[in-house]
Structure 1
Amino acid sequence: MAESTSVDEFIVGQSAATKELRRLVDILAPADSTVLIQGQTGSGKDVVARAIHALSGRKGPLISINCAAIPTELLESELFGHEKGAFTGAETDRKGRFELADEGTLFLDEIGDMNLSLQTKLLRAIENRTIQRVGGSKDIEVNFRLICATHQNLQAHVDEGKFRADLFFRINVFPVQVPSLAERSVDIPDLIDTICASISESQNSKPPLFDETALSELSRYNWPGNVRELRNVLERAIVLFPQKEITSKEVRENLLRLKVPDENEELEALWEETGNLNSIDLDGLISDKPPLPVPSSYQDWFSYFDTIDLRKHLQEVEIVLIEAALRKKEGQITGAAEALKLRRTTLIEKMKKLMIERPNAN
């Protein structure tokens, strides 16, 4: 008898956001409804898709395709297949990803990059559960479950005419939001254990040991590349520090900023560390919510990055806070201005300058 599959095998962590994601996957996986997974690049949307398929009970395979990675002129053939002679080089009939996903799941990653003409053909396939190969006229029935993913705002694309509204409503049956790694930083120790074990097994190598200062340093980092970036950092750690202890110093100097460690430097650092055995306070690490940023949070910025677009960054912070205040006050500008400690006229001027729309007041 085959072992049962658990969502915990795919989605690791104990943060509130991760627990909610696991609960949602458990609920929607057995259904055949279309799922739209949204989240930042590298946040693990493909992992969520694999979890949904594994728990779905569908007999066929999970067939994946990245719509952004394949040129537009080739994507149609990749999805729908082609008949012999359909175009130069089509020497035989070829099944596309839809047919390969029969009785299984088709995962369309980065669907926001699909052009409008192909969106039309995709909509027909979803509605009729039939496809036609490129160069063919025969309808081929396909039993598939569709999962789509994107890091883009598809609703904004619809408003701009870049994405079909009817297709958006078709694929947005079960929307799933994958949290960024910064939103689930409490999961980082669990993710490190899981990812290091996976990499070490595949490479037949021994993982390093991250001490408490290293875990704290990794939890403070903002992870613009999310879990994908964390995996890259851990691959570096396994190569540079096999079976060695890693402290916050190695994290800053050798992992987040790639620099091959010098053996003499390592020995000197080890000698210095033995003289400082103060315990590390991890209260900030064991938290269910990411800490609110304070000005001092930026003092280590140039330990990780070489530059910052200060004007753009501050403007983005302003937009986020103003929109949040307006939502909190149900669109009331006076209330939002008080929450932000601004004059009403100042807030109105900022809204015009930053092109922030006032939400409908209840």
Structure 2
Amino acid sequence: MTSHWVERDVQVRALPVESDVLDRIIVGDSAPIRQLKRMIAAVAVSDAAVLTRGQTGVGKELVAEAVHRLSGRTGPLIAVNCAAIPADLLESELFGHEKGAFTGADRARVGRIEQANGGTLFLDEIGDMPPALQAKLLRVLESRRIQRLGGGSEQMVDFRLVCATHRDLTQAVEQGSFRADLFFRISVFPLTVPPLSERTADIPLILARMISDRLVENPALDAPHFDPAAIRALSAHAWPGNVRELKNVLMRAFVMFPGRMITSRQVRDNLLGMQMPDMDSDGADCMPEPPTPTASGLPDPSRFHEALTRLTDLDLRGYIRDIEVALIEAALDKRQGNVAQAAEALRLRRTTLIEKMKKFGIRRGLPV
């Protein structure tokens, strides 16, 4: 029974696309993202159903796109958000209908499942699918046949299924709101997209891609720039909205700081804190930037005294955090990523340094 199922449903085909397509779709080179890309590359060339899990805003739809592009299927990628369509319309959206099937059905309509024939069907937020539709979807997955609403005949369909959810479907199965048999059908190969807070090292690459895409859409825009301290401030943020929130922050940067270099204070106060910047400021009243990992020495305290005479206020905690991050990164660079030696150089306990590194999103030297 098992071998027959594998032979029918998990056929493997050669990879027909260029090898860098995955890097273009999913941006990042952190350890969690490299692991995710390896998993995608492994499963894409099969027909196994994929269940993508992750928080809202992490980019689960990009996993579906990557799986489809790497699969070699010639049909389209058809996406349906099960949470965005009212329950009474979702059945017609998925299965289609014949003319006269219900009031207002003045013509026949091809459903999304039928449209995905030869390609990939992506069901986003499948955890929100009503129980009655779960049963109908299960039958389609088992029989590979579909019948439109109001229709009298069935037709064969061939599609790759990728689902996504931010819900805990295991818990939903236990509570009875999601069918156990459907859960096991759609979760042959589960993938988890890490939250942005676990891959802050990817923020510069993600920002660069977002800026590039934005300029392609509108070449007349003047792109903002982020200095190293600003990147560290972004990395220290919790990112509850994940990559979607980062995109919003970048859009604010285009509005507030077109063509300007953004500092850590502007990240915290303006982009994250939503205070309007002083557009007349030329930056002369800013604190000197914390030392970078390549700096040859610490700044003289008099520089801070001079800067403070021109400031009306100061985010002391944020500024000291930037200094800590810079010195930790410098110590790790000098000790080739050896955490124990870096801790000794900073006169910290190794466990204390590790706690600070996790707090600031510094992954170098830590186990993957």
TM-score by length of 1: 0.76
Alignment of 1:206-221 (within 5 A): 206-221=222-237
Kindly indicate whether the alpha-carbon contact (under 8 Å) linking 2:17 and 2:72 is maintained by their aligned counterparts in 1.
Answer: no
Q: Distance in 2 between matches of 1:131 and 1:34?
A: 18
Question: Who is 1:271 aligned against?
Answer: 284
User: How big is each residue's C-alpha offset from its partner over 1:284-303, in whole Å with a ceiling of 9 and x where there is no partner?
Assistant: 5999xxx9767x969xxxxx
Q: Distance in 2 between matches of 1:123 and 1:49?
A: 20
Question: Who is 1:315 aligned against?
Answer: none
Q: What displacement does 1:154 show? A: 0.3
Q: Distance in 1 between matches of 2:94 and 2:275?
A: 42
Kindly indicate whether the alpha-carbon contact (under 8 Å) linking 1:43 and 1:179 is maintained by their aligned counterparts in 2.
Answer: yes
Q: Distance in 2 between matches of 1:219 and 1:177?
A: 21
Q: Distance in 2 between matches of 1:96 and 1:157?
A: 27
Kindly indicate whether the alpha-carbon contact (under 8 Å) linking 2:229 and 2:289 is maintained by their aligned counterparts in 1.
Answer: no
Report the secondary structure of 1:263's partner residue: coil
Kindly indicate whether the alpha-carbon contact (under 8 Å) linking 2:30 and 2:202 is maintained by their aligned counterparts in 1.
Answer: yes
Question: Who is 2:198 aligned against?
Answer: 183
Q: Distance in 1 between matches of 2:228 and 2:100?
A: 62
1:112 to 109, 121, 127: 127
Q: What displacement does 1:278 show? A: 4.3
Question: Who is 1:280 aligned against?
Answer: 292
Question: Who is 1:354 aligned against?
Answer: none
When residues 278 and 13 of structure 1 are mapped into structure 2, their CA distance, relative to the original with a 3 A threshold, is same
Amino acid at match of 2:284: W
Q: What displacement does 1:203 show? A: 2.6
Question: Who is 1:13 aligned against?
Answer: 28
Kindly indicate whether the alpha-carbon contact (under 8 Å) linking 2:17 and 2:69 is maintained by their aligned counterparts in 1.
Answer: no
Report the secondary structure of 2:75's partner residue: coil
Q: Distance in 1 between matches of 2:49 and 2:284?
A: 57
> Is the aligned partner of 1:54 residue 2:66?
no
Amino acid at match of 2:285: E
Aligned length: 289
Kindly indicate whether the alpha-carbon contact (under 8 Å) linking 2:17 and 2:70 is maintained by their aligned counterparts in 1.
Answer: no
Question: Who is 1:229 aligned against?
Answer: 245
Q: Which has the larger radius of gyration?
A: 2
Q: What displacement does 1:132 show? A: 1.0
2:163 to 126, 136, 148: 148
- Kindly report the root-mean-square deviation, in angstroms, between the aligned alpha carbons of the 2 structures: 2.2
Q: Distance in 2 between matches of 1:46 and 1:284?
A: 34
Question: Who is 1:138 aligned against?
Answer: 153
When residues 122 and 293 of structure 1 are mapped into structure 2, their CA distance, relative to the original with a 3 A threshold, is farther
Amino acid at match of 2:99: K
Q: Distance in 2 between matches of 1:168 and 1:10?
A: 27
TM-score by length of 2: 0.74
User: How big is each residue's C-alpha offset from its partner over 1:169-228, in whole Å with a ceiling of 9 and x where there is no partner?
Assistant: 000101001100011111111111111111222132232110011100000001000011
Question: Who is 2:96 aligned against?
Answer: 81
User: How big is each residue's C-alpha offset from its partner over 1:235-287, in whole Å with a ceiling of 9 and x where there is no partner?
Assistant: 111122111100111111221132332312x32xx1023x7254234455999
Amino acid at match of 1:207: A
Report the secondary structure of 2:89's partner residue: helix
Report the secondary structure of 1:47's partner residue: helix
Q: Distance in 1 between matches of 2:156 and 2:250?
A: 44
Kindly indicate whether the alpha-carbon contact (under 8 Å) linking 1:199 and 1:235 is maintained by their aligned counterparts in 2.
Answer: no
Amino acid at match of 1:239: V
Q: Distance in 1 between matches of 2:93 and 2:290?
A: 58
Q: Distance in 1 between matches of 2:124 and 2:182?
A: 15
User: How big is each residue's C-alpha offset from its partner over 1:40-62, in whole Å with a ceiling of 9 and x where there is no partner?
Assistant: 00011001111111111100010
Q: What displacement does 1:34 show? A: 0.6
Alignment of 1:331-342 (within 5 A): none
Which residues of structure 1 form unaligned runs of 5+? Answer: 299-362
Q: Distance in 2 between matches of 1:169 and 1:35?
A: 11
> Is the aligned partner of 1:39 residue 2:66?
no
Q: What displacement does 1:140 show? A: 1.7
Amino acid at match of 2:159: F
Q: Distance in 1 between matches of 2:142 and 2:244?
A: 34
Q: Distance in 2 between matches of 1:221 and 1:297?
A: 10
Q: Distance in 2 between matches of 1:178 and 1:111?
A: 16
Amino acid at match of 2:261: E
Q: Distance in 2 between matches of 1:277 and 1:151?
A: 39
Kindly indicate whether the alpha-carbon contact (under 8 Å) linking 1:83 and 1:90 is maintained by their aligned counterparts in 2.
Answer: yes
When residues 90 and 213 of structure 1 are mapped into structure 2, their CA distance, relative to the original with a 3 A threshold, is same
- Identical columns (%): 50
Question: Who is 1:262 aligned against?
Answer: 278
Q: Distance in 2 between matches of 1:134 and 1:69?
A: 21
Report the secondary structure of 1:146's partner residue: strand
Question: Who is 1:243 aligned against?
Answer: 259
